[in-house]
Amino acid sequence: MSGNLDLTKLTDEVVKDILELQQNVNLFKTGQMNEERFKHYRLTRGVYGQRQFGVQMFRTKIPFGKLSPEQLICLADVSEKFTNGNLHLTTRQNIQMHYIKVEDSPEIWSLLAQAGVTAREACGNTVRNITASAHAGIDPEELFDVSPYVQATYEYFLRNTICQDMGRKIKIAFSSSDKDSAFTYFHDFGFIPRVKDMNGEAVRGFKVLVGGGLGAQTIVAPTAYEFLEEDQIIPFMEAAIRVFDRYGEREKRFKARMKFLIKGLGLEAFMELVENERKSIKNKSFKVDRSLHQDIIPIEKSIDDIDIQNEKKYLDWKKTNVYTQKQKGFYAVQIRILKGDIDAVRARKLAAIVKKYASNDIRLSINQGAILKFIRPQYLPQVFTELDSIDLAEPGFDTLADVTSCPGTDTCALGVTNSMALAVELEKLIKEKFPQYLDETNIKMKISGCMNSCGQHMVASIGFHGSSIKKRPLVIPAMQIVLGGGIDQNGIACVAEKVIKLPTKRILKAVSYLLEDYETNSEDGQYFNQYYQSKGKIYFYDLLKPLANVEDILESEFIDWGEDEAYVQEIGVGECAGASYDVIGTILNDAKEKIEESNISLKSEKWADAIFQSYTASVIAAKALLLGADVKCNTHIGIINDFQKHFIEPGLIPQIDDFHNYIFQINKYEPKEEFSKNYAKQASAFVKLAVLYRAKDVNGNEDDKQVIDSHYKA
Over residues 555-571, the pLDDT tens digits come to 999 999 999 888 776 65
Of the pLDDT bands very low, low, confident and very high (cuts 50, 70, 90), residue 593 is: confident
d(CA 287, CA 636): 56
Residue 1 has pLDDT above 80, yes or no: no
By CB atoms closer than 10 A (0-12, 13-18, 19+), residue 194 is buried
Note the Cα 246 to chain centre separation in Å: 25
Number of H helices, E strands in the chain: 20, 22
Residue 631 has pLDDT above 90, yes or no: no
Residues of the chain with CATH 3.30.70.3340: 311-388
Residue 706 has pLDDT above 50, yes or no: no
For 552, the enclosing helix (H) or strand (E) is none
Residues of the chain with CATH 3.90.480.20: 2-114
What CATH architecture does domain 583-704 belong to? Answer: Up-down Bundle (1.20)
User: Mean per-residue pLDDT for 457-482?
Assistant: 93
Of the pLDDT bands very low, low, confident and very high (cuts 50, 70, 90), residue 122 is: very high
Fold of 311-388: Alpha-Beta Plaits (3.30.70)
User: Mean per-residue pLDDT for 264-276?
Assistant: 93
User: Mean per-residue pLDDT for 55-73?
Assistant: 96
Q: Among the residues of 336-452, which ranges form H helices?
A: 344-357, 380-388, 419-433
**138-147, 559-568, 668-677 — most confident range:** 138-147
User: Mean per-residue pLDDT for 420-432?
Assistant: 96
pLDDT at 275: 93
Least confident of 358-372, 521-535, 651-665: 651-665
Residue 623 has pLDDT above 90, yes or no: no
> Whole-number mean pLDDT of the chain?
90
* Composition of the chain by helix, strand, coil, percent to 5: 45, 15, 40
The fraction of the chain above a pLDDT of 90, given in percent, is: 68
CATH of domain 2-114: 3.90.480.20
User: Mean per-residue pLDDT for 452-481?
Assistant: 93
What is the amino acid identity at position 314? Answer: Y
Least confident of 430-439, 550-559, 638-647, 676-685: 638-647
Query: CATH classification of 404-558 is 3.40.50.620, yes or no?
Result: no
Q: What are the strands of the beta sheet with 331-335, ordered from one edge? A: 66-67, 362-364, 370-375, 331-335, 322-324
Fold of 139-292: Sulfite Reductase Hemoprotein; domain 1 (3.30.413)
User: Mean per-residue pLDDT for 212-222?
Assistant: 92
Residues of the chain with CATH 3.30.413.10: 139-292, 404-558
Residues of the chain with CATH 1.20.120.330: 583-704
DSSP-derived secondary structure letter, 165: S
Taking every pair of Cα atoms in the chain, the longest distance, rounded to a whole number of angstroms, is: 88
Query: Which of residues 598 and 271 earns the better pLDDT score?
Result: 271
d(CA 301, CA 107): 39
pLDDT at 621: 92
pLDDT at 570: 60
Q: How many CB atoms lie within 10 A of CB 222?
A: 18
